[in-house]
Amino acid sequence: MSIKRRGFVKGLIVTPAVPLVAQRSAPATPNPSPDREPPRPAPQAPAKLATVGVDTAAQTTQRFFTPGQFAALEKLGATLVPPLQGKPGASEAGAALFLDFLVSVSPHDRQQLYQHGLDGLNAASEKHFRKPFSELDTAQASVILKPLMVVRPWPEEMPEDPMQHFIAQAHQDLRTATSNSREWADASLGATGGGRRGFNQAIGLYWNPIDPVVKG
């Protein structure tokens, strides 16, 4: 084979290899489809924010009752639900402040029950002692409250008299607010030497000298 032919055959073998290598090394770029959505970024975990309990972040403020009504409610709580056996009373538990909030978001008839009831206590106090209900001592408050506290065979049966109805409802609400307060839970935790926070140990029923006797 002559030198020219060998050079020609060599050129046939070597020359096609160049575009083949270049074609293999170039990445294939697919044509974008109009119906295909662009790739979405990977989801990121939400940021974790430090939180605190609502009781430690803000102080509840009195907002619904008038000052005279709220003072009467505080006195009513101190008289009906005093501290007992190491447990806080309504005053120590801030029950009146909680009920001020609760009644503010309650139906209108419940709001009227409380407003008229507290106004009635102040009116009776002014009539008998010429001063608001909040300024009475325990003996004087008992003079006004005893006739209003009647026997109820069943807790859900409220008296028909508006003032007796109010005292029964407020007495029940003050007890519930007190026994479900942070102060009550802390006292229960300290009395038992442990246990779950907020779990009220041996709540039971307790009566004051001016409480009515409930039929068994």
Q: Where are the domains of the chain?
A: 58-190
| DSSP state string for 100-169 | HHHHHTS-HHHHHHHHHHHHHHHHHHHHHHSS-GGG--HHHHHHHHGGG----SSTT---SSHHHHHHHH
Residues 190, 211: Cα–Cα separation, whole Å: 28
Amino acid at 1: M
Digit-coded pLDDT (tens) for 8-45: 445 544 444 444 444 444 455 555 555 566 667 676 66
Digit-coded pLDDT (tens) for 78-131: 999 999 888 999 999 999 999 999 999 999 999 999 999 999 999 999 999 999
Residues 169, 173: Cα–Cα separation, whole Å: 6
| Token output for 96 | 């009146």
